[in-house]
Structures are given as C-alpha cells and as structure tokens.
Structure 1
Amino acid sequence: MTRALLVVDIQQALIDLEPTNKDTYLAKVDKAIAHFRERGEEVIFVQHTEDDGELLALNSKGWQLYAGLDVRKDDKIIRKYFNSAFRKTNLESYLKEKAIDQLVVCGMQVEYCINATLTVGFEKEINLTVLSDAVTTYDRDNMTGQAIMDFYNQTIWPNFAKVIPTDRLN
C-alpha cells in the first residue's frame, strides 16, 4: 500500500475563526505532517475556494493555507470548490497516477469537508484513516464543536474508516 496524508482546508480565515481545540489541533496536524515527511511519504494539501467577496475567495489573505503549516514547494495542492476534495478536482487522478491507495485524513471542517471527502473516498474504495485529534470544527447553536467531533469520530466514521489519534500513526 502507498499512502499519503491529506490535509484538508487548513486556511488562514478558518484558523482566525478559532476552531475547537485550535492549538492542540494544530500541534497534532504538525505532528502528522512531520511523521509523513520523516518517512518520505507524500503530504497533499486541499484548499477550499469560494467566490469573490466570500471568506475563502481565491487569492485573498483568508484563502491562503495557514502560515504555520509546513507546506513545501513540491507539495501537491488541490484546489476545491465543493465540500468533497474529489468533486471536480484532480485528486482522484493524482492518487491513481502516484499509486496512492491509502489516505490518512486531517483538517477542517468535520461535518462538512472532512465528512464529504471521507464518504466519497470510501465510495472510490480508498483505504481511509482519520486522525481523530487532528480534525476540528466550530461550536454550533445546538452542539459544541467537541460534541460534533466526538459524534463523527465515534459513530459515523468507524463504519468506513479507521479512526485513530495521531500518536498511533505508524
């Protein structure tokens, strides 16, 4: 199996909005990126793009990948316009080209882009792992961000992905 780390939508504007467990979350993402780099495994970044005037408008300050991430010149960056990193992007063809058949996923936002990307990846028969402590979201009117993360990590994703904390990466 050839695997890669898929880092979804960790962009400046989203971090500025203070997601749940922001500092711990970012530390776990950094640890995952370092883990993959140490092993010579690929790190792929996904960057959500919206229309002009919106939070993640193309080329805006908020649209940029979070400055604290270890993004390197040769890293693959997938620009997406929908919740799923697969919809109308070249992610699937890139994975095939590189013979990547396993994705370890981290990033934002649990109930939107992470869940959609995992669901579509499952349909495409990709072996999936979610880093339970390297995903985040925001509090909602009716549910805390932590409760949302717990729900997906404990109830939804184990049905089609391996769910582990970053410390259990091998």
Structure 2
Amino acid sequence: MKLALLIIDMQKAYYTGYAKESMDQASEYINYAVELFRGKNYPIIWVQDEDKKGNVIQGTIGFDLIDALKPKPDEKRIIKNYNNSFNKTGLLEYIIKEGVDTLIITGYNAVYCVLSTYRGALDHDLMPILLKNSLASNTKENSKFVEDISEIISINALEKFISGANE
C-alpha cells in the first residue's frame, strides 16, 4: 500500500461566510497531515479549481490557496475544471506513476468536489479515505454528512498508521 495526501480547492475565492470558519478548522488537520506525509516523503497533491465563469482564474488572488496552507514548490499541483479531480486532469496518471493506491482526501467543498473526487477514486480502483475534521463546506451539516457516508480516518489513527507503515 502506498499513500498520497490530496488537498482539494482550499482557495481564497471560496473563503467567505461559514466556509471561512470551516476552512480554518480543516486547515489545522490538513497542516498536521501535510507534515506527516512530508516526514515520510509521501506524495502530497494540491488541487485547485479554475472556474472562469466564477472568475476563479490562475493568476488571480481568488485562485490562490488560503494563507494557512503552504505547499512546497516540489509538491504536485493539479488544476481542475470539474468537481471530480480526476476528470480531464493528470491526477490519475500521476498517481499511477507514483505507485499510489490509497488516497487520504481533504479539502473544500465536502458535498461537491471532495465527494466527487472520492467517488472518482473508487471508479479507478483506488482506496479513498477522508481525513476526519479536514473537510470544509458552506455548512457544518454537509461536512458531517460526507464523513458519515464515507470511509474516514482520524488524525491520531493516521499518525499511528504512517509512523508504522513500511518499516
């Protein structure tokens, strides 16, 4: 089993209303997971949504990741135009090249892009697992709903799992 961490659409354009509070809370768990993955040299994949109709375009402030998240230059970036991060992107090819079969998924928006990507991973015979408390949404109920219908792992279990994996 080889893991990768997927962080979806944690962008400034969506950092408003309840989503702002939700992203702030999710960022704490995401940042902790990022450090775990960096410590083991596991792939970290940053996904950003480009929505020309919504004026979320590369090069604009809204396209940028929120300030709480700090990807490294050598970490993979994927730009998507659909809810499912696998749809017409290089994500699957990258995952195959890296030998990844299990994705720890985090990010925004729980009921749209996160859930679509989770199901997309299943369609490609990958094992998607959501990191508990790392999902952001426009409502608290939406994040809980997605966690309730999906495979999840707590940050403590992930830490224990990663610290013992491949050793």
TM-score (norm 1): 0.87
Distance in 1 between residues matched to 2:24 and 2:77, nearest whole Å:
23
Letter in 1 for 2:157: R
Letter in 1 for 2:152: V
Residue 141 of structure 2 is aligned to residue 147 of structure 1: yes
- 1:111 partner SS: helix
Structure 2: runs of 5+ lacking an equivalent: 162-167
Q: What is the percentage of aligned positions where both structures have the same residue? A: 24
Note the 1:50-89 alignment, pairs <5 A.
Answer: 50-51=51-52, 54-89=54-89
- Runs of 4+ aligned residues of structure 1 deviating over 4 Å after TM superposition are none
- 2:15 partner SS: helix
Higher helix residue share? 2
Match of 2:164 in 1: none
Q: CA deviation at 1:90?
A: 0.6
CA contact (8 A) 1:134 1:166 kept: no
Distance in 2 between residues matched to 1:22 and 1:8, nearest whole Å:
11
TM-score (norm 2): 0.88
- 2:32 partner SS: helix
Taking only aligned residues, the RMSD between alpha carbons, in angstroms, comes to 1.5
Residue 97 of structure 2 is aligned to residue 92 of structure 1: no
Letter in 2 for 1:150: K
Structure 1 pair 27–105 and aligned structure 2 pair: CA distance change class (3 A): same
Distance in 1 between residues matched to 2:73 and 2:141, nearest whole Å:
36
Q: Count how many residue pairs are aligned between Structure 1 and Structure 2.
A: 158
